[in-house]
A and B are shown apart, each in its own frame.
Chain A
Amino acid sequence: MTGAGYSVLGVTGVFVATLVVGAYGWRFSRTTSDFFVASRTVRPGLNASAIGGEYLSAASFLGVAGLVLAFGTEMLWYPVGWTAGYLVLLVLVAAPLRRSGAYTLPDFAESRLESRGVRRLSALLVVAIGWLYLMPQFQGAGLALASTTGTGTWLGGVLVATVVLVNVLFGGMRSITFVQAFQYWLKLTALLFPLLFMAAIWLGDGAVSPASVDVGDVGVAGDSWVSPLAGAEHELYTTYSIIIATFLGTMGLPHVVVRFYTNPDGAAARRTTLLVLALLGLFYLLPPVYGGLGRLYAPDLIASGRAESVVLELPARMLAGTAGELLSALTTAGAFAAFLSTSSGLTVAVAGVISQDVMGRRFGGVRAFQAGAVVAVLVPLGLAVLTEGVGVAQAVGLAFAFAASTLCPLLVLGIWWRRLTDAGAIAGMLVGGGCAGGAVLATLLGVGPEGWAGALLAQPAAWTVPLAFLTMVGVSLATPRRVPLHAARTMVRLHTPESVQLDRGHPPR
């Protein structure tokens, strides 16, 4: 059997396992609450694995190793930021968000600010961020399947979309929770197991430092590969912009936020998040090592512009024969687990919003959710098939910057600042979303100017996030009469532990 054959087998295995584990959850999914939030009964251990499984997308599994291979230490800020984002989420958002009692982010926005307008705008943003994030997952799936088996680039995306849709249609959140928990451990194994063999080979070869080799003028030279600031211009600004986007963007991602509603209570939400921090830290130790080894054993990938496939190809290059091909098939299977789990989570989140805010009146409950899921998958799949790819990690990075400039200020100020008004929230989201969205579009269309302006557009978070916060605070202070009527009661609901008997007002729905 050839290497491609093993890869096909691995990918098929992941698809089948996903459907089987998902089917285990189908049996439990009956009510609307099952579909949206798994009836809020998921224990921290299972939930943390599920969150980890959902969060580790193609960008983490393939992108990080590729970026480190091509650009060096500077790129380690992405995994660090994606983990630190969970710490920021833990301290600012986790428990209050669970206690808010809302199903989706627009639910939270509406119940906190008592305004339909804020609800509609945040629903729009959730769908936009979800699609911006789903598109590279489908694209990545296409590229990965094409590079290992030589099929057309559209096939991988279509396959992933189909499996996700089947699971979501029949099982909703309940089913997805089992699938994602399983996929975290699959992804960890798929990176760790081949790495053990490769590390042994590397030690046998004399343990050469990846920093000491010169891969020619295609990559950065040995010295700057190690430097935490890339050799490019405005490196300090770019680094800090990445830090701000990833640290603050995590809490604004729709599939991350929706998971908090599945915890039994606020304290459980905190402990779940802490466990997620541990699981993410464990996982992110691995991809940079692939990048480093890739510099020694597969430097030609940089020149051919296929750095992102280093995780898929490295095992077969370092180990001769069937063993290497089997291990490469394992990492390919892990990559598909990444595509599937992230897309499933995003689809559930986006479908929840679409069904409640767009078609809630025409259909009811579960039927609306299923219709929402179809729309949630088909649009980004169409975009992914039609447009030729931006880099997977780059598109995901832009989604983070966009989320940090819109939904992050809404959540942080909504939870901690009583005087936030609906007018302030809308103004802040429009300004932050407008600026970040404009920068995203300019980058995607490739019309960015040179020099400072180019750096500001390529990594907009460092200026759009403060701007969004300032607008939200400024406009809220200018409209003090619009402070929600029940703001004090809502604060009681958000911040007091559930064990205390208090009047918490009416949680949404």
Chain B
Amino acid sequence: MSESTPRRVRVTSPRTNAARAQRVPAAREIDAQTRLGEVYMSSLVRSQLRLALLSLATLAVFVGGTPLVFWLFPELSDVEVLAVPLPWFLLAFAVYPFLFLVGWLYVRAAERNERAFTDVLDRT
């Protein structure tokens, strides 16, 4: 048993220069269109697309859903908000701040996505 004991090897620091040279910056991966570069790109595009679709879904449900709700429940037209009929209140006033709010949240999130992408590229 004891004769098969492997020889002792002294461990020193890794060859740091060689190890670092192996790592290619993400930007070059994207430029060379490697598989890894594709992953970086598709994660950016997908995160932006998901955000866009989320914003559009919000728009479709809350604004696009209004005609359907009034069609299903016509008696809602008789409700008054601040002495204004509900449909008029929603379509002539309330909808505009809502659209701006969705847009504002979108711009913030889209810039956050881009910052995350830039950070990943800078870190490598």
Residues of chain A contacted by B44 (CB below 8 angstroms): 495-496
Interface size on A, residues (CB 8 A): 53
Bound complex: CA A488 to CA B42 (Å): 10
Contact flag A229-B103 (CB < 8 Å), given A496-B44, A497-B117: no
Contact flag A495-B41 (CB < 8 Å), given A227-B87, A229-B70: yes
Report A450-468 residues with CB < 8 Å from chain B CB. none
Bound complex: CA A488 to CA B95 (Å): 38
Bound complex: CA A503 to CA B34 (Å): 13
Residue contact A87 to B59, C-beta cutoff 8 Å: yes
Interface size on B, residues (CB 8 A): 47
Residues of chain A contacted by B39 (CB below 8 angstroms): none
Nearest-Cβ distance from residue A470 to partner chain B, whole angstroms: 18
Determine which of A77, A80, A223, A271 lies in contact with B107 in the assembled complex, contact meaning CB atoms within 8 Å.
Answer: A271
Residues of chain A contacted by B107 (CB below 8 angstroms): 90, 270-271, 274
Determine which of B30, B48, B77 lies in contact with A502 in the assembled complex, contact meaning CB atoms within 8 Å.
Answer: B30
Binds A, one of B3-11, B12-20, B60-68: B60-68
Residue contact A274 to B41, C-beta cutoff 8 Å: no
Confirm or deny: A338 has a beta carbon within 8 angstroms of a beta carbon on chain B.
no
Nearest-Cβ distance from residue B106 to partner chain A, whole angstroms: 5
Residues of chain B contacted by A489 (CB below 8 angstroms): 33
Confirm or deny: A28 has a beta carbon within 8 angstroms of a beta carbon on chain B.
no
Determine which of B30, B67, B102, B106 lies in contact with A236 in the assembled complex, contact meaning CB atoms within 8 Å.
Answer: B67
Interface of A is mostly: helix
Bound complex: CA A273 to CA B95 (Å): 17
Residues of chain B contacted by A488 (CB below 8 angstroms): 33, 38, 41
Confirm or deny: B52 has a beta carbon within 8 angstroms of a beta carbon on chain A.
yes
Nearest-Cβ distance from residue A71 to partner chain B, whole angstroms: 13
Report B101-124 residues with CB < 8 Å from chain A CB. 102-104, 106-107, 110-111, 114, 117-118, 121
Bound complex: CA A405 to CA B1 (Å): 81
Nearest-Cβ distance from residue B87 to partner chain A, whole angstroms: 4
Residue contact A227 to B70, C-beta cutoff 8 Å: yes
Report A217-253 residues with CB < 8 Å from chain B CB. 223, 226-229, 235-236, 239-240, 243, 247
Nearest-Cβ distance from residue A195 to partner chain B, whole angstroms: 13
Confirm or deny: A421 has a beta carbon within 8 angstroms of a beta carbon on chain B.
no
Interface string of A64-102 (1 = CB under 8 A from B): 000000000100110010011011101110010000000
Residue from the set A73, A92, A270 with the largest chain B CB neighbour count within 10 Å: A73
Residue contact B92 to A83, C-beta cutoff 8 Å: no
Determine which of B31, B41, B51 lies in contact with A491 in the assembled complex, contact meaning CB atoms within 8 Å.
Answer: B41
Determine which of A95, A236, A278 lies in contact with B71 in the assembled complex, contact meaning CB atoms within 8 Å.
Answer: A236
Residue contact B88 to A73, C-beta cutoff 8 Å: yes
Determine which of A87, A223, A267, A416 lies in contact with B99 in the assembled complex, contact meaning CB atoms within 8 Å.
Answer: A87
Contact flag A416-B100 (CB < 8 Å), given A227-B70, A228-B91: no
Report A277-301 residues with CB < 8 Å from chain B CB. 277-278, 280-282, 284-285, 288-289
Confirm or deny: A387 has a beta carbon within 8 angstroms of a beta carbon on chain B.
no
Residue from the set A91, A497, A499 with the largest chain B CB neighbour count within 10 Å: A91
Residue contact B88 to A229, C-beta cutoff 8 Å: no
Confirm or deny: A477 has a beta carbon within 8 angstroms of a beta carbon on chain B.
no
Instruction: Give 26 CB contacts A-B under 8 Å.
Output: A80-B91, A84-B59, A84-B95, A84-B99, A91-B103, A209-B83, A227-B74, A228-B66, A228-B77, A236-B68, A239-B67, A243-B67, A247-B59, A267-B114, A270-B110, A270-B111, A273-B103, A278-B100, A281-B97, A285-B96, A488-B41, A489-B33, A492-B41, A495-B48, A500-B121, A502-B27
